[in-house]
């Protein structure tokens, strides 16, 4: 017999004894008051109420015992089964779920850190690019300063600023950026305004000096559109090339192959200079009035 059944029987016996005693006492009282007559139906009602009370007490005790043991009542409704299963799953896997949530939170944090790191890298690269441009600018300025310093040291003040002292003369190569291209007469006028004139190339040594120091430029258009005027023309007599100092040029080795040209867009009566790998073959001719080129001026250095 289980503990619950034993307890229920004992309580039932005790209640019966109590009711029997109470009934006897009550019967004696009624007997004394009523002349000794008995009321059997009263006893039956009281016993029924006592048994009902005992049943309720037993039910409460049984429920209490099951609750104390941690057992749950079986719910006959099948709709509650999924909830019970989910509750048991959550209870059994709470550590795993907690770890998963923590991992998700850590992943979100790492993603935020990754975005911030990418932003920092981008800002750093931008700063590096800015510094690189500054370095390039400073390097260019340094190169220009060193060039000016070298020019001044070599010329020792014998040439104008921006002119180059080469061998025994001062030369000016017009700047393709700051100086607008001019036709041959305007180019010569500019040289004269500086106390000079268009260059006269007297010999192979001077030809090579000009070729070696010729500005290395990347011009647009045809090659012959990027040359420099020199002081040589055949304006007076076609085919007879004379320098501006009235010296007739008899050397033909300085002309580029196929030059001077006598027809086409590139032909004309004034000579120009353009750098080629062959330092001797650099001359060609152009239209004195229509073609716009750069120019080379030449003047004697100052004696001071």
Residue 296 CB partners (closer than 8 Å, separation 6+) = 171, 172, 173, 174, 198, 199, 210, 228, 229, 230, 273
What 174-179 contacts at long range (C-beta under 8 Å, 24+ apart), as own/partner pairs, is 174/228, 174/294, 174/295, 174/296, 174/297, 176/215, 176/217, 176/219, 176/226, 176/294, 179/294
Q: Is the pLDDT of residue 237 over 60?
A: yes
Lowest mean pLDDT among 53-62, 65-74, 118-127, 141-150: 65-74
User: Quick one: pLDDT at residue 144?
Assistant: 72
Q: Is the dihedral of CA 22, 25, 29, 35 positive or negative?
A: positive
Q: Is the pLDDT of residue 37 over 50?
A: no
- Mean pLDDT within 20-25: 49
Q: What whole-number distance in Å separates Cα of residue 173 and Cα of residue 164? A: 8
292 pLDDT band (50/70/90 cuts)?
A: very high
Look up residue 268 and give its two tokens: 């004309």
pTM above 0.95, yes or no: no
* 160 contacts 170 by C-beta, under 8 angstroms: yes
User: Quick one: pLDDT at residue 133?
Assistant: 87
* 224 contacts 286 by C-beta, under 8 angstroms: yes
User: Quick one: pLDDT at residue 189?
Assistant: 97
Q: Is the pLDDT of residue 78 over 80?
A: no
pLDDT (tens digit, 9 = 90+) per residue, 266-278? 889 999 999 887 7
- Mean pLDDT within 81-98: 76
User: Quick one: pLDDT at residue 262?
Assistant: 85
How many angstroms separate the Cα of 45 from the Cα of each of 25, 32, 41, 59? 16, 22, 6, 21
Could you tell me what percent of the chain has a pLDDT over 70?
Answer: 74
Q: Is the pLDDT of residue 7 over 70?
A: no
Q: Is the pLDDT of residue 24 over 60?
A: no
240 pLDDT band (50/70/90 cuts)?
A: very high
């Amino acid at each position: 017999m289980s503990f619950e059944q034993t307890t229920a029987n004992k309580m039932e016996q005790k209640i019966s004894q109590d009711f029997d005693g109470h009934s006897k006492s009550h019967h004696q009282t009624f007997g004394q008051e009523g002349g000794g007559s008995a009321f059997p139906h009263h006893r039956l009602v009281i016993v029924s109420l006592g048994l009902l009370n005992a049943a309720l007490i037993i039910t409460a005790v049984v429920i209490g015992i099951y609750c104390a043991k941690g057992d749950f009542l079986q719910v006959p409704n099948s709709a509650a089964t999924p909830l019970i299963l989910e509750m048991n799953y959550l209870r059994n896997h709470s550590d795993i779920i907690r770890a998963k949530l923590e991992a998700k939170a850590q992943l979100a944090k790492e993603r935020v850190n990754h975005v911030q790191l990418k932003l920092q890298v981008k800002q750093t690269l931008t700063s590096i690019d800015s510094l690189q441009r500054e370095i390039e600018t400073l390097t260019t300025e340094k190169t220009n300063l060193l060039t000016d310093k070298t020019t001044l040291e070599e010329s020792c003040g014998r040439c104008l600023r921006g002119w180059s002292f080469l061998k025994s003369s001062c030369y000016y190569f017009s700047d393709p950026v700051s100086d607008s291209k001019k036709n041959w007469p305007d180019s010569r006028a500019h040289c004269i305004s500086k106390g000079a004139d268009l260059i006269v190339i007297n010999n192979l040594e001077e030809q090579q000096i000009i070729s070696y120091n010729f500005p290395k430029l990347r011009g647009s258009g045809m090659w012959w559109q990027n040359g420099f005027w020199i002081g040589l023309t055949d304006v007076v007599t076609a085919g007879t090339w004379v320098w501006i100092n009235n010296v007739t040029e008899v050397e033909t080795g300085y002309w580029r192959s196929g030059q001077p040209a006598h027809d086409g867009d590139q032909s004309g009566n004034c000579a120009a200079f353009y750098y080629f790998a062959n330092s001797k073959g650099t001359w060609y001719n152009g239209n004195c009035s229509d073609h716009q080129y750069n120019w080379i001026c030449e003047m004697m250095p100052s004696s001071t």
